[in-house]
């Protein structure tokens, strides 16, 4: 496995930290690492990059122990830190060139492509850059050497929705090219759009790992149907469909996968309109696991 975390524990003197965290990320997989503020996402990621020594357990990248082989790992992995502390005296381009030099890469074509894609003036002095602009420099820095493994700590924080979309497209393209990606986030919708699996961390403990596809299959859709007559409402009431709400000629029906039975059941009705609402994936997840995160 390109990324492997085994029983990783870091106990800070204040008692906080991460405890017995284990998961792997397979080649070509995008793994979303989700959790509230202070849950332990950055601490886990810092161990993977070899910036911290675990109290116990291990973090490995391409079978290299992250703590013992931190120099090799930091050289090769595409890393986007949660808080980008840049050298303030430089402009964006100077910073990227310095980093490319440290990584000994000469090819700057990819760097240029990424700068064009994220549409920013790379020659702006870093101290004058907004949070979003710094984040873009960080994204270019993480992807520009075409790394096989990418570790991204809250990559879209500070980006506007348009730029978030560009970032999601980039992640999807890299996945297609076989890259292994671990990305942390606060936002389920971002993970929903990019990841194969999601891991949830709370108070330093990994409480659940689930395939996104499985959650999507559990996701219910609410069909809001406006029929022509009250007789149509009565017809629908006599079918096995799960009715959530009736309001005049409008009826809301919950469907989980069985669309055929829905179509058959309403085929005899006069219909003015149908609107479809998707249940939020986070709600599916919370329904699937109870509040404490134990599988119910």
Residues interacting with ligand ATP, by CB under 6 A? 12, 14, 16-17, 35, 37-43, 82
Residue closer to ligand ATP (CB basis): 13 or 240? 13
Residue closer to ligand ATP (CB basis): 15 or 248? 15
Residue 155 Cβ vs ligand ATP, minimum distance, rounded to whole Å: 13
Residue 185 Cβ vs ligand ATP, minimum distance, rounded to whole Å: 9
Residue 14 Cβ vs ligand ATP, minimum distance, rounded to whole Å: 5
Rounded distance between C-alpha atoms, residue 216 and residue 95, angstroms: 41
Residue 183 Cβ vs ligand ATP, minimum distance, rounded to whole Å: 12
Residue closer to ligand ATP (CB basis): 14 or 295? 14
Residue closer to ligand ATP (CB basis): 28 or 82? 82
Residue 257 Cβ vs ligand ATP, minimum distance, rounded to whole Å: 34
Residue closer to ligand ATP (CB basis): 41 or 179? 41
């Amino acid at each position: 496995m390109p990324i492997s975390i085994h029983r990783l524990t870091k106990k800070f003197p204040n008692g906080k930290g991460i405890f017995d965290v284990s998961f792997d990320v397979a080649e070509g997989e995008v793994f979303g690492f989700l959790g509230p503020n202070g849950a332990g996402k950055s601490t886990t990621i810092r161990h993977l990059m070899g910036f911290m020594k675990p109290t116990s357990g291990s973090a490995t990248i391409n079978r290299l122990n992250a703590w013992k082989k931190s120099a090799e790992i930091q050289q090769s992995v595409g890393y986007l830190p949660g808080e980008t502390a840049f050298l303030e005296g430089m402009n964006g381009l100077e910073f990227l060139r310095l980093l490319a030099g440290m990584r000994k890469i000469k090819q700057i074509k990819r760097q240029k492509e990424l700068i064009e894609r994220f549409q920013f003036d790379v020659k702006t002095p870093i101290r004058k850059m907004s949070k979003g602009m710094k984040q873009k420099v960080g994204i270019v820095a993480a992807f520009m050497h075409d790394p096989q493994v990418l570790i991204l700590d809250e990559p879209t924080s500070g980006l506007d929705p348009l730029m978030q979309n560009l970032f999601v497209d980039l992640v999807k393209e890299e996945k297609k090219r076989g890259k292994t990606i671990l990305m942390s986030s606060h936002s389920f919708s971002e993970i929903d759009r990019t990841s194969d699996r999601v891991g949830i961390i709370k108070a330093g403990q990994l409480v659940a790992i689930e395939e996104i596809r499985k959650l999507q299959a559990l996701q219910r859709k609410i069909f809001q149907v406006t029929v022509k007559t009250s007789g149509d409402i009565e017809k629908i009431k006599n079918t096995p469909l799960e009715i959530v709400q009736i309001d005049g000629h409008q009826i809301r029906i919950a469907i989980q996968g069985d669309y055929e039975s829905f179509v058959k059941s309403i085929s005899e009705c006069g219909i003015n309109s149908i609107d479809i609402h998707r249940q939020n994936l986070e709600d599916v997840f919370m329904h699937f696991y109870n509040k404490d995160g134990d599988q119910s």
